[in-house]
Chains A and B, each alone.
Chain A
Amino acid sequence: MPRRSWRPTFALLFVSGVVFAAESERTGLGSEPTAEELGAAGYTVFPDGKGLPAGSGTVSEGRAVYQQFCAACHGRNAEGDEAAALVGGRDSLTSGRPRKTVESYWPYATTLWDYIRRSMPYESPGSLNDDEIYAVVAHLLHLGGVVGEDAVLDQESLPRVEMPNREGFVSDDRPDTD
């Protein structure tokens, strides 16, 4: 498989003493979005907090959001029902019967925010506002014993939450069979 030069835009071609930037190889197809269009295109939330919007939510606010939008599938106390359990399972990962939940397995709290914004509630994704997402994340992390009753989560505090399984992942070291 031919490997593509990975930044030919920066490559300079010296021909007969004349310098051509490979820039000219670009097709020029595609259009540059306005800032407004770019904002509407969407965003990603990263573990360092990049992408998290303004807003905030508390554990008690999150309890109400959870009961209204989440409990029917995930269970009253996030113990799992039709949908996955979100809490519990600590110390189960080596048991042979691992219970992989947000509490026991997820390495970053920002992932919970990002996933809820993308995909939850399952039947109406995108229907929670940013404050509600911060709040329901706070509630779930409190149910999992990760943050206290008085936690307030926002773009500053959420990336600093230390998840119990933060150090639980290793890189791919396959092949691992002879």
Chain B
Amino acid sequence: MSKQRPSRRAFLGLAGAAAASSLHPAARAQTTGAIRDLGDTPSDYGRPSPFEDSKRWSRAPDATASSSNTPLADLEGIVTPSGLHFERHHTGVPAIDPDTHRLTIHGLVDRPLVFTMDDLVRMSSVSRFHFIECSGNSAREWSPAGAPNVQLSHGLASCSEWTGVLLADLLDEVGVKAEASWIVAEGADAGLMSRSVPLERALDDVMIAYGQNGEAVRPEQGYPLRLLVPGCEGSISVKWLRRIEVAHMPSMARDETSKYTDLLPDGKARQFTLVMDAKSVITRPSGEQKLDRPGFFEIRGLAWSGRGTISRVEVSTDGGRSWTDAEIEGPRHAKAFTRFRSPWRWDGGRHLLMSRATDDTGYVQPTLAALLEARGRSTIYHNNRIKAWEVRESGEVTNAEA
């Protein structure tokens, strides 16, 4: 496992700025004032400043069955830049020509239909902010030891503005037969990734998305077309969507039986645990950052719930002995990242920082102990425990053992 670099922007110390200025003439100019050299000409597609180094982190960068994590500590607001959205794919990222891509909807329908991308873009559209979280996110957090930084502990979650067609509208076009109760979605990746979705949910707020953050969905997120099942575990939002079969039962696909089921202590496993429960994490100060000196800091973080909106986030700086309400300035969308902030004056001592989210169903984010009590140690998925970071007297921030 590669060592994670601390974010340069967070709590940037003087040492960091000095190192940067020795590397780049523009940086030297910035430290003294205005840049008098003429700058760059316009570009056809802009990129982040060369001084920025936010990167996804992959546990297996050379594998096609792999994933990569979003650097949550580097991000502001609620939107994950498309190029930093986490990835999870089982057979690599396919390159799909939208002109030849088709979505077929068939099965228990009055009239099967094949849609081109042009057909879909012509239809009535919606744009909505939604998070996607892999249900294996925070799997390392089942151990009291936990992960050393927030990219590793929570980075299999991201949030975008998604644009597309409501699946309910497409199902109106084909006419769903009365005996239908599920849909089965299939991707166009090498392994034809497939998941079943209850029809009731499919007719609710499920989208067929072709837009992400104002541009086309990125290849890693399913270009040119993906299913988006808001609030649910990421793997059900089938990417590179090519086929939807309306059916009388779930297909019991490998990824809803062998995987993504939650084994309980009695040997039974929960199945179709689709919803991602309310969760929050402090992104700054967070693991592997360093506070340069005592004084004012804003504790910032993200909260989200697959059941609705975040109604409250509380922050503790004393390991959960006392809690204060964090500010949620907004926006506060359902099933989307919600930003919270809380002012804090660091006295230079040791502190345990924690956050605890409540959603509009009244559900409160649990402790690791509560999750283990309810589920045992073999469930793997759906870990939404309260995470603690330890601020040391040196200013170093580390994972705190639960």
Contact = CB atoms under 8 A, between A and B. Distances in A.
Contacts of A122: 65, 91, 191
Nearest to B111: A32
Interface stretch (A60-68, A129-137, A142-150, A167-175): A167-175
Contacts of A28: 173
> Which range holds the interface residue count of chain B?
35 or more
Given A1-B334, A98-B378, A30 B249 contact: no
A96 B204 contact: no
Given A1-B204, A44-B245, A168 B267 contact: yes
Interface stretch (B7-15, B36-44, B112-120, B343-351): B112-120
Interface string A149-178: 000000000000000000011111111111
Interface stretch (B16-24, B283-291, B294-302, B367-375): B367-375
Interface string B344-372: 00000000000000000001101000110
Instruction: Identify the 3 closest CB pairs spanning chains A and B, nearest first.
Output: A30-B113, A119-B191, A177-B366
A114 interface: yes
A115 B173 contact: no
Contacts of B204: 1, 3-4
B243 A174 contact: no
Contact of B271 (A26, A171, A177): A171
Interface in B234-277: 242-243, 245, 247-249, 251-254, 257-258, 261, 263-275, 277
Interface in B195-226: 200, 203-205
B371 A177 contact: yes
A108 B176 CA distance: 27
B64 to A, nearest CB: 9
A25 B234 CA distance: 32
B115 A29 contact: yes
Given A1-B204, A25-B172, A125-B192, A44 B334 contact: no
A110 interface: yes
B94 interface: no
A114 B196 CA distance: 13
Interface in A1-58: 1, 3-4, 6-9, 25-33, 37-38, 41-48, 50
B122 interface: yes
B44 to A, nearest CB: 32
Given A7-B176, A114-B253, A168-B268, A42 B258 contact: no
B254 A47 contact: no
Interface of B: 65, 90-91, 102, 104-106, 110-115, 119-120, 122-124, 166, 168-169, 172-176, 184, 186, 190-194, 200, 203-205, 230, 242-243, 245, 247-249, 251-254, 257-258, 261, 263-275, 277, 334, 363-364, 366, 370-371, 373-375, 377-378, 382
Contacts of B200: 6
A171 B270 contact: yes
B257 A107 contact: yes
Contacts of A46: 247-249, 251-252
A96 B269 contact: no
Nearest to A27: B123
A9 B110 CA distance: 10
Given A41-B102, A42-B104, A118-B193, 9 more contacts: A8-B172, A26-B172, A26-B173, A32-B113, A46-B251, A94-B265, A102-B258, A118-B254, A178-B364
A115 B253 contact: yes
B272 A171 contact: yes
23 contacts: A26-B173, A29-B120, A31-B113, A32-B111, A41-B102, A41-B106, A44-B247, A47-B252, A50-B248, A93-B263, A100-B263, A106-B258, A111-B253, A114-B251, A115-B253, A115-B258, A118-B254, A169-B261, A170-B268, A170-B269, A172-B274, A175-B277, A178-B364
B168 A177 contact: no
A27 B170 CA distance: 9
Nearest to B102: A41
A30 B119 contact: yes
Contacts of B114: 30-33, 37, 41
Contacts of A118: 191-194, 254
Nearest to B366: A177
Given A108-B252, A169-B269, A42 B192 contact: yes
